[in-house]
Amino acid sequence: MDPSMSPEIEAVRDMVIRFMQAEVAPVMDGFEQRREFPRDLVRKAGEAGLYGAVFPESVGGSNMGYVAATVIQEEMGRIDVRFAACNNQQGSTCPSCIYFGGTPEQIQKYVPNLLAGKTIGMMSLTESGGGSDAEGNMKTFARRDGDVYRITGQKMWASIANETDVGVLFAKTDLKVGAKGVSAFIVEPKKYPGWKAQPVEMMGLSSAMRTNVLFLDDFVVPVENRLGEEGDGFKIVMRALQPGRVTVAGKALGVARACFEEAVRYANDRVLRGQPIGRFQMIQSDIAEMATAIEASRALVYKAAQMMDDGLPSNRISAIAKFHASQTAKMCADKAMQIFGGYGLAKEYRVSWLRSYADLFFTGEGSANVQRIMIAEDALGYKVADRHHGKTGLRDIRKDDVGKELKPKA
């Protein structure tokens, strides 16, 4: 319960907590041990509305906005971040790319099923040449062949690509240019040959929801599945990654809180020299630093989410929120592990793997250095972080879309 939030938002929080505690917490360890993707649970989460908060009702969303979406991510991240590993694929970057860059027909065909958890999503931009310079290092090529594209190449870190029904994949249609050579495609790997996803063994991350190397060999995409025009891909993904940063920041905040809660409980339970270790001042110092950083992150993350709900320029504040929240998660994971002593390294204690998620949020969805660069270049007057606000020519998601017909792009 956060007294600064409205009763409606706190009702959303209650709903997520109830869902996660009743449906996910009792079974997620089993999915992890069996290395099994929890398809039915994702569908139930979709039915409960956990993926559609920012989308208008006309496409199956609930139009509650980014503050609500961020609360959902925060509580999912706090209660079981492993299950939250597919949130971006179901409710953020994947459907956002389709919504921002697609035709009304593409949106109606694909977005409602993703939000409902009926189809499993994916968003694949990164290649092994380097995620921070995705457009410069992209080698995957989409060759036009009549009514289809044939895509050949190798993508890296394609999360859930081994399970996906419908995803968004970025490939070059012109290898000679950088960002302007990138195009976006809605892919359906179960319908067409040439797609092989090979899960990567990761340290401390979910074994049920996995990330993959993706091998594409003349993989077919109908021309009607291209998003926008050839060369629009980079614009679309950059637009989708901005709100993605805020929701990832919410998830990082949830991980920071989970570490804090574990640390507080353990500090009260663990008795050394005749007293709980929470009575030691150096442990108290760690607890105080964690509590303070979490409050600061919360203020930043919800400021960014509120500015997005208000339609204000929010690229800069999103970068700041994600940078701070992922740093906070890393710091809290580190301190929680120290408070647990040797037990913090044992798999049965979740602080051991929460740390890997903190590291992931530090790197994924734009690394910490990339956020640093954006924040600093804006401050130094080299590049205004919000220079593209309202000028991308892409469809927007606004709270006032409620009840309205889906409009073609501006």
Residues annotated as catalytic are: 365
What's the residue count for the chain? 410
Q: Which is nearer to ligand FAD, 202 or 299 (CB)?
A: 202
Spatial CB neighbours of 85, under 8 Å, sequence gap ≥ 6: 159, 160, 205, 206, 209
Q: Least CB distance from residue 359 to ligand FAD, whole Å? A: 9
Query: Do residues 332 and 324 lie in contact, with contact meaning Cβ atoms separated by under 8 Å?
Result: no
Q: Which is nearer to ligand FAD, 163 or 232 (CB)?
A: 163
Write out the two tokens for 82.
């492993």
**Alpha-helix runs per DSSP H in 124-232:** 134-137
Residues within the interface to ligand FAD (CB under 6 A): 123-126, 130-132, 157-159, 202, 205, 211, 360, 363-365, 367-370, 373
Q: Which is nearer to ligand FAD, 201 or 400 (CB)?
A: 201
> Measured in whole angstroms, how far is the alpha carbon of residue 11 from the centre of its chain?
23
**What span, in angstroms and rounded, lies between the C-alpha atoms of 221 and 168?**
11
- For tokens 């050394």, the residue is 272
**What span, in angstroms and rounded, lies between the C-alpha atoms of 303 and 322?**
12
Query: Do residues 395 and 289 lie in contact, with contact meaning Cβ atoms separated by under 8 Å?
Result: no
**What span, in angstroms and rounded, lies between the C-alpha atoms of 266 and 290?**
14
**What span, in angstroms and rounded, lies between the C-alpha atoms of 212 and 205?**
13
Backbone angles phi, psi at 330, to 5 degrees: -65, -45
Q: Which is nearer to ligand FAD, 129 or 390 (CB)?
A: 129
Q: Which is nearer to ligand FAD, 58 or 327 (CB)?
A: 327
**Residue whose CB is nearest to ligand FAD in the complex, by number:** 131
Q: Least CB distance from residue 237 to ligand FAD, whole Å? A: 8
